[in-house]
Amino acid sequence: MIGAAARDNAAWCDLVCRAHGLTGVTDADAWSVSRRSPPWYPDAVTLRPGVDPAAVLARIDDGPGASVKDSFADLDLTPHGFRVLFEATWIHLPPGPTPGASELTPVVTSEQLTTWATAHGGGPLFRAALLAEPGVRVLGLPDGHGGWAGGAVLHTGGDVVGVSNVFAADPTAAPRVWAGVCAAGADRHLVGYEHGGDLAVAVAAGFRGVGPLRVWLR
């Protein structure tokens, strides 16, 4: 399941980069872009354990600001001038019934995406081209005033649906967002990763941790 989650996450990173005019490369070892990825996105994602660190770094611009998502938490990039930015846990929820319908609604227009991205904090990171991708669902929790109290992105890749960019305007909205994610993807295996308080909310919604990952930053 970690391998499936890593491949889906890499495919989502590739879509975001392509929306910014960056072309990614994928093989059995990793996905990568040769120029710096957009903010909050890695320059490489490993896709199997045991990848040679030097080989990963040779695929990217490994200067200051470079980042690598170490999907199996088995790289040591310290000798190459990197430090661990954060550690997280891959999460998984198998298909199954949910207590109720999702409160999340689709974001379908560029205007809606702009307000959603502002609420998320990503601003211009999210390009309208993403809405045209058949495997992407941008979902929002309406705040009742024309804006968004939270949201998430679901990306269908292979046998799993990746959950990313989950956000909530306040702690009371977070359980509703995660419950909505579970309901919206109830027919597929849901995967993603979280850490800290966000991980606790995801686990409370029914997800379970399946393995560690790290993000390295130079």
CATH number of residue 197's parent domain: 3.40.630.30
Is 115 in the same domain as 60? no
Determine, yes or no, domain membership for 215.
no
Question: Within this chain, do residues 156 and 191 fall inside the same structural domain, yes or no?
Answer: yes
pLDDT of residue 201: 97
Supply the pLDDT for residue 123: 83
Sheet holding 30-33, edge to edge: 24-26, 30-33, 44-46, 67-70, 208-217, 83-93, 189-194, 160-168, 148-157, 136-142, 105-106
Same domain, 112 and 198: yes
- Look at residue 212 in the predicted model and tell me its pLDDT: 98
Considering the domain architecture, whether residues 133 and 72 belong to the same structural domain is answered as: no
Residues 6+ apart with CB under 8 A from 160: 1, 4, 5, 8, 188, 189, 190, 191
Domain boundary residue, one of 25, 58, 89: 89
83-94 burial code (b ≥16 CB/10 A, e <16): eeeeebbbbbbe
Indicate the residue among 89, 109, 128 that finishes a domain.
89
Find the domain containing 200 and state its range: 93-209
Mean pLDDT by 10 residues, the chain (218 residues): 96 96 97 96 98 97 97 98 98 91 93 96 91 95 94 90 96 95 94 96 97 98
What is the model's pLDDT at position 98?
85
Q: Are residues 102 and 161 in the same domain?
A: yes
Number of domains in the chain: 2
> Is 214 among the domain residues?
no
Last residue of a domain, one of 45, 72, 89: 89
Give the pLDDT confidence score for residue 45 in this predicted structure.
98
- Shared domain for 57 and 145, answered yes or no, is no
Residues 139 and 123 in one domain: yes
Q: What's the pTM value of the predicted model, to 2 decimals?
A: 0.95
